[in-house]
Structure formats: C-alpha cells, structure tokens
Amino acid sequence: LERGQKGNVSEGVSFGLESADDITLSNWSCTIFGQPGTVFENRIYSLTVFCDDNYPDAPPSVKFDTKIEMSCVNSSGMVVKNNLHILKNWNRNYTIETILIALRQEMLSSVNKRLPQPNEGEMY
C-alpha cells in the first residue's frame, strides 16, 4: 500500500486504494502505461483489482476498465487467470505490483504487441 501511495513502484505502473477508508484493502485502482514500440505505446490503461477473503493465498480478480485487446483479457475486460502465467501459477508472495508488471510485459509478447486496439479512451 505504502509503495503505491508514495509512487515508489516500478516504471510504467501505479496503484492505490479506490477509497481511503477501505479498511479491508480489497478494492484497488491501478494504471499501466503502454509499452513503447507496441500498439499500446502512449496509452494509459486503467484497471481495477479486487482482493477477496482468499487473498493472498489465491490471486485477486483483475479487470481492465479501459478497453484493450490482449490474449489474456476477455471481451468484458477481465484478465483470464489461466491465460496469464503469474495468475495461473499464483504464489502468495506476489503483489498487485507484480501483476501489473506481468501485464505490462505481456504487452511485449509477439501475440499481443501488434493486435489492433480499440479507440483510445474507450471503456468497458
């Protein structure tokens, strides 16, 4: 939480609680900046991460709010756990930042980096 709030996170990602009074630390607003040299370049993607009672033993739910075409994202913006290595092979030591970094790296994959994208700013 502190790393996200202070902006002391990896390049290209940011995150923080949706509401400052969320004492359960369940609902997170996140941002991924598109990877240079890909169709995602110069785009900002908003995501919502929800950590239920099983977190950190089970992965959180991750949903893109900004429309995106990626092999690990379904037609409603949900990240498909079985299609993203880090969620499929979840380790309780992984963090929200780890997930965001993995998604940003996935933008570089040969499958994703040239996929036609929705118009910038379109939302689910």
pTM, entire model: 0.91
pLDDT band at 2 (very low <50, low <70, confident <90, very high): low
Q: The domain spanning residue 49 has which CATH number?
A: 3.10.110.10
Q: Which of 4, 13, 93 minimizes the C-alpha distance to 55?
A: 93
Instruction: Tally the domains of the chain.
Output: 1
pLDDT tens string 48-77:
999 999 999 999 999 999 999 999 999 999
> Residue 108 in contact with residue 121, Cβ under 8 Å?
no
Q: Which of 120, 104, 121, 124 minimizes the C-alpha distance to 38?
A: 104
> Residue 92 in contact with residue 56, Cβ under 8 Å?
yes
- Determine the residue type at 23: I
In a domain, 124, yes or no: no
In a domain, 60, yes or no: yes
Task: Give the domain range for residue 84.
Answer: 2-106
- Is the predicted pLDDT of residue 111 greater than 70, yes or no? yes
Q: For residue 1, what pLDDT is reported?
A: 45
> Residue 35 in contact with residue 113, Cβ under 8 Å?
yes
Distance CA 25, CA 17 (A): 7
